[in-house]
Amino acid sequence: MQNVVPVERAVAARTLEERAAAYADEVRRLVDAAYTVMRRTESLDPRVSDIVQAAGLSNQAFYRHFRTKDELLVAVLDDGRRRLVETLERRMAKASAGADAVRAWVEGLLEQARNAEAAANTRPFAVNGARLAARYPEATASQREQVIAPLRAAVADAGGDPGRDADAVYHLAMAATEDAIVRRQPPTRDDVAHLVAFVLRGIGASRR
């Protein structure tokens, strides 16, 4: 006998699916609007009213998804980290294992300071993102690890310590990236090449 879904369940499932799609669209619009407002104001403290206006939504829509403005900012930071990880993984997939993959990771990270749009999106977090890290340590630590994770295997393949060496490379490259973004002085290709060479020497890859 063929299983027949009761009409009330079928209608409810369709309604929930439609509502989920609508809510996902609202969240995407709020995240994109937060990027827009922060690029314009260069502040990590945009007003909710400005965000919902840029999104074309209401305060009710905002608080349906986020209890506070900082929760939205954590989501924005997570969105940016995910995009960065995708970029890094694409670059590394084209490189050979080991030193070449480490090079691709470092170059990909510093490209965030060389690309005007990426730098504009990142600048508010580079300037005063420590506030979010202090208020949401677990979320920001998880996001940081997402960025470091592809580097760990590459460092190990290059002969380095996937734990401490990868962490050191991350902190060095991220500091250089954020400093360039804050100063509005994109690193030159020579700057990037010098940092890559320094990193490879540091993990011992230049001798392999």
Per-residue exposure over 88-127, b if at least 16 CB sit within 10 Å of its own CB, e if not: beebbeebeebbbbbbbbbbbbbbbbbeeebbebbbbbbe
pLDDT of residue 208: 44
Beta-carbon count within 10 A of 18 CB: 10
pLDDT of residue 93: 95
Three-class secondary structure of residue 94 per DSSP: coil
d(CA 101, CA 94): 8
Find the angle CA(185)-CA(191)-CA(196) to the nearest 5 degrees. 135
Per residue of the chain (208 residues), give pLDDT as tens: 456 666 556 666 776 777 788 889 999 999 999 999 988 887 778 899 999 999 999 999 999 999 998 889 889 988 988 999 999 999 999 999 999 999 999 999 999 999 998 888 888 888 777 777 888 888 888 989 999 999 999 999 999 999 999 999 999 999 999 999 999 999 999 999 999 999 999 998 644 4
CATH number for the domain whose boundaries are 1-66:
1.10.10
Q: Are 109 and 118 in contact (CB under 8 A)?
A: no
Task: Give me the residue spans of the domains in the chain.
Answer: 1-66, 71-208
d(CA 9, CA 163): 50
Supply the pTM of this predicted model: 0.82
Residue 57 neighbours by CB under 8 Å, 6+ apart: 26, 29, 30
CATH of 71-208, one of 1.10.287, 3.30.420, 1.10.357, 1.10.10: 1.10.357
> What are φ and ψ of residue 188, in 5° steps?
-80, 170
Find the angle CA(74)-CA(75)-CA(76) to the nearest 5 degrees. 90
pLDDT of residue 207: 43
d(CA 178, CA 197): 19
Half-sphere exposure of 66 (CA within 13 A, CB side): 23
- In terms of C-beta density within 10 A (0-12 exposed, 13-18 middle, 19 or more buried), how is residue 78 classed? middle
Residue 101 neighbours by CB under 8 Å, 6+ apart: 92, 95, 153, 154, 157, 158
Half-sphere exposure of 108 (CA within 13 A, CB side): 25
d(CA 111, CA 192): 9
pLDDT of residue 132: 78
